[in-house]
A and B are shown apart, each in its own frame.
Chain A
Amino acid sequence: MNVETLFALCACALVGIGLYGLIVQPHPLRKLVAFNIMGSGVFVLFGALAKRGAAAGMAADPVPQALLITAIVVAFAATAVTVAVLLRLIESTATASLANEPPSGE
């Protein structure tokens, strides 16, 4: 098996692992970490496709690789916004619960 197929299959498993954590973990921060793992699985899959596109003396297709750099930066920005929302949630309700009924006392 070549490197790109190996990591493409690995990426499929990463998406699955991230999805599991996203559903199972109750704490929003844990969901965020799991979602980031799921996202990184998508990135690795895309990177493996870039590696498959090696041609014209280049070790990989530069177009998907450039889009990956953009994607990583945007993922960081989205994570930062989510963390800020989460911290504000705790500040105003003193809990990080995502349960349906509002926490008592506030």
Chain B
Amino acid sequence: MTTLLSLVVALLLLWLALWTVVARDAFVAVAGFVVYGLLLSLVWVRLAGIDVALTEAAIGGGLTGALLLGAVGRLRGTEAAAAAERSGAGTRAFAALLSLGVTMVLALCVLALPEPAPTLAPQAADNLPATGVGNPITGVLLAFRALDTLLEAIVLVIALLAVWSLAPDRFWGGRPGPRYAADPDGVLSYLARVLPPIGIVVGLYLFWAGADHPGGKFQSATILAAMWLLVQMAGLGDAPRIDGRWLRTGIVVGPLAFVAVGLLGAWQAGAFLGFADGWAKPMIVVIELALLPTLVLVLALLLNGAPARNSGKMPAGDGGR
């Protein structure tokens, strides 16, 4: 029964992937990709990765889908020109052969995997009590492999800088994207008034529950960022100017606090990002609290894109609010 369900999910996933890749229209392809992301979360549930499933649904399906849908809208005019460059039959046959070959080699590797499988689960289980958190994933992210998470936070900030740096010079320091205006009595404005309070509570719950149950700062930050974007798209709030001092502080506070905790560990426990006895849980909470604003801001601003307008000719010092 469960195997049958997995088989159906796997076949559906393959069909959707194929459909997304060969679809004629870019909008259809992106819509297919969003559904594909949601189906992928089901795969993660089947593979016993509830935390991964939550991240996939929120970021892989949700945020990436929104990003690509926004891009499709602005790329409309360029599709016809691209269609003229369509690959010839020879290229397609070569690509099909190459893809088939790669799949075959990978499949052979999968079938030749060693038995029993190597695992770090026993070590993680043995050392989890020392961290004071109950969710092994959170333990790995913030204690055993904290360096990965620190570098990830830095990668996110660098990605945001890369997006901002694509702004034309005259818009540097301005606001990203168009100023949205929605019907104040419309359903979008209604949702943007009703949903955020609920979304904020759910987001903060996921954040706090992540210590012992599936959830955590990434899933939580995605929901909070989505609420902020909803308010922007309903025209109830505007995207922030990217030269705001508070905004920039919020963006770097997470990585900086993380590095500070790491240095404290170097002094207290003798290793960068090491935790002295009994200090693990409070330090993990400090890191998570500092990372949350960074993640919310960076995820939302990555979706907003590069600055594209200056709200009025503002003299230096005028915040433009």
A: residues with CB less than 8 A from B are 1-21, 23-27, 29-30, 32-34, 36-37, 40, 44-45, 47-63, 65-70, 72-81, 83-88, 90-91, 95-97, 99
**What are 12 of the A-B contact pairs (CB < 8 Å)?**
A7-B43, A29-B75, A30-B26, A36-B64, A48-B47, A53-B120, A54-B48, A55-B119, A63-B120, A66-B51, A68-B52, A73-B152
Interface size on B, as a range, is 35 or more
Q: Residues of A contacting B87 with CB < 8 Å?
A: 23-26
Determine the chain B residues whose CB is within 8 A of the CB of A63 once the complex forms.
120-121, 124, 140, 144-145
Expressed in whole angstroms, the Cα–Cα distance for A11 and B110 within the complex equals 10
User: What is the chain B residue whose CB lies nearest that of A77?
Assistant: B159
User: Contact at B141–A29, with CB atoms within 8 Å?
Assistant: no
Would A37 and B99 count as touching, CB distance under 8 A?
no
List the one stretch of B3-11, B182-190, B200-208 in contact with chain A: B3-11
Using CB atoms, name the residue of chain A closest to B18. Answer: A17
- CB of A83, distance to nearest CB on chain B (Å): 5
The complex places the Cα of A65 from the Cα of B216 at a distance, in Å, of 13
Residue numbers in B under 8 Å from A67 (CB-CB): 145, 148
Q: How far in angstroms is the closest Cβ of chain A from B211?
A: 14
CA gap between A69 and B55 in the complex, in Å: 6
Instruction: Report B51-104 residues with CB < 8 Å from chain A CB.
Output: 51-52, 55-56, 59-60, 63-64, 67-68, 70-72, 74-75, 78-79, 81-83, 85-87, 91-92, 94-96, 98-100, 102-104
Q: Is B198 an interface residue (CB 8 A)?
A: no
List 16 additional contacts besides A17-B18, A88-B306, A96-B82; criterion CB under 8 Å.
A6-B7, A7-B6, A7-B46, A17-B14, A47-B44, A49-B117, A51-B49, A53-B118, A56-B126, A62-B136, A65-B52, A72-B59, A76-B299, A77-B298, A81-B159, A84-B306
- Contacting pair A77 B78 (CB below 8 A): no
B138 → A minimal CB distance (Å) = 8
Q: Shortest CB–CB separation between residue A40 and chain B, in angstroms?
A: 6
Known: A17-B99, A24-B95, A86-B75. Contact between A76 and B40, CB under 8 A?
A: no
* A69 with B100, Cβ < 8 A, contacts A4-B47, A60-B49 known: no
Chain B min CB distance to A14 (Å): 6
Q: Decide: B122 and A55 in contact? CB cutoff 8 A.
A: yes
Instruction: Give chain B residues whose Cβ lies under 8 Å from the Cβ of A15.
Output: 102-103, 106
Q: Check A18–B52 contact: CB distance below 8 A.
A: no
CB distance from A34 to the nearest CB of B (A): 5
A12 engages B107 (CB within 8 Å): yes
* A87 with B74, Cβ < 8 A, contacts A7-B10, A50-B49 known: yes
| CB contact under 8 A between A58 and B49, given known A15-B106, A16-B103, A72-B59 | no
Chain B, residue nearest A8 (CB): B110
Write out the residue numbers on chain B whose beta carbons fall within 8 Å of the beta carbon of A62: 120-121, 124, 136-137, 139-140
CA distance in complex: A18, B218 (Å): 26
**A25 vs B29: C-alpha distance when bound (angstroms):** 11
In the complex the two chains form, is B33's CB within 8 Å of A33's CB? yes
Q: Is B162 in contact with A32, judged by CB distance below 8 angstroms?
A: no
Contact yes or no, A23 B140, CB < 8 A: no
The reply to whether A13 and B95 form a contact with Cβ atoms under 8 Å apart is no
| Most chain B C-beta atoms within 10 Å of own C-beta, residue among A21, A30, A84 | A84
Q: Would B40 and A40 count as touching, CB distance under 8 A?
A: yes
Task: Determine the residue in chain A with the shortest Cβ distance to B78.
Answer: A96
B167 to chain A, nearest CB (A): 9
**Do the beta carbons of B21 and A20 come within 8 Å of each other?**
yes
- Interface: B155 (CB within 8 A): yes
